[in-house]
Amino acid sequence: MLDQTRVFDELDKAGVRFYAGVPDSYLNGFCNHALAHFPDRTVIAANEGNAVGIAAGHWFATGELPLVYMQNSGIGNAVNPLASLADVHVYAVPMLLLVGWRGQPGTGDWPQHGLQGEATIPLMDVLHIPHAVLSDDDAAFAATVRAAAAFCKAERKPYALIAPKGVMAGDKANNRDETYPMGREEAIAAILDHMPPDTVYSATTGRATRELFFLRERRGETKARDYLNVGAMGHASSVALGIAMARPDRPVVVLDGDCAAMMHLGAMTMASKTRVPNLLHAVLNNGAHESVGGQPSAGHLVDFTKIAEACGYRTVGRPATTKDELVSALAALRASAADPDGRPAFLDIRIHKGLSGKLPPLDFSHRAAIDALRAELQP
């Protein structure tokens, strides 16, 4: 594990003093150090492409070399601005990319990280972005950063620093707060209790998938009605929309997260274009990137309810902040499902940070799970 104080000292010496990105568990030490020591120079972006744009703007305005951090799963979000904004044949924007290497070949990881791990280095090659794989040697890191920063400045191009597991690690504390009384697991359990038994669920990336999975086990319930969005962060609501459109006779609930919803917020505009009164989009909003370390999000700062209303959703006009408010809101939204415009429903559920308990890894057969859901849904 690299000494993060030395990491940031070396970045400072290389003229890198601005950091924008999306938190990653493999970069937990880096992200937490940046927030703790340089909060005014650290931006947690909505998605990785957003971070590349912010970094480009910083360079336009200051001439200082920025750093964009991300998990390798976020490379896909970053490809467009890297290729059509930062590219040397367009605006030639220099920046360091710090990329957590999930699914590194030969290391063993969950299936949703496998292809992305295999493609990480080839994607850099396709994008003509030179790269170096970091080790936990502090002296080697210093030399790599100096060379990378010099290249960026001389060539006006991005350079990628690829971080395998452990190199930029740090503690993932259970940073519970008491902002709101409900936790995520309690909220999910309440939804399961107060929605029809044939409801189909689409759970977002991270803790929501694990908590739904193990709640089903503890309650002795079938998992055949659940879609677990273990990868593809931000797309659980889109998958749910496709199901709801195809099966208007079945209630469909999205168990989304605030960070996931913001990552692809444009998906919410589909509410104005589709007739799916059977769809409920619920955001489990704890204001944090909890699954990767608890870094703060904008979840508690934005009014999801007003955004949803502007996008065409039915709402109860306010977030649910207690279990009683959640149950009441679910009843009201179910009662309004006969909406003549066929609009979907939306509910912002404000919950506190903090994990309810230590859950086992989510080890299951993805193919068997999706085939069970298909058998449940297809006539």
Digits of tens for pLDDT over the chain (379 positions)? 999 999 999 999 999 999 999 999 999 999 999 999 999 999 999 999 999 999 999 999 999 999 999 999 999 999 999 999 999 999 999 999 999 999 999 998 889 999 999 999 999 999 999 999 999 999 999 999 999 999 999 999 999 999 999 999 876 665 778 889 999 999 999 999 999 999 999 999 999 999 999 999 999 999 999 999 999 999 999 999 999 999 999 999 999 999 999 999 999 999 999 999 999 999 999 999 988 888 999 999 999 999 999 999 999 999 999 999 999 999 999 999 888 889 999 999 999 998 777 788 888 999 999 999 999 999 7
Please say whether the beta carbons of 75 and 48 come within 8 A. yes
How many domains, in total, are found in the chain? 2
Nearest to 185 by CA among 216, 150, 157, 151: 216
Same domain, yes or no, for 147 and 200?
no
Same domain, yes or no, for 145 and 71?
yes
Please say whether the beta carbons of 319 and 305 come within 8 A. yes
φ, ψ (nearest 5 deg) of residue 60: -55, -40
The domain that holds 249 is classified in CATH as 3.40.50.970
Residue that terminates a domain, selected from 163, 194, 224: 163
Please say whether the beta carbons of 40 and 19 come within 8 A. no
Greatest alpha-carbon pair distance for the chain in Å reads: 66
Structural domain harbouring 307: 184-377
Question: Counting Cβ atoms within 10 Å, is residue 205 exposed (0-12), middle (13-18) or buried (19+)?
Answer: buried
Same domain, yes or no, for 73 and 147?
yes
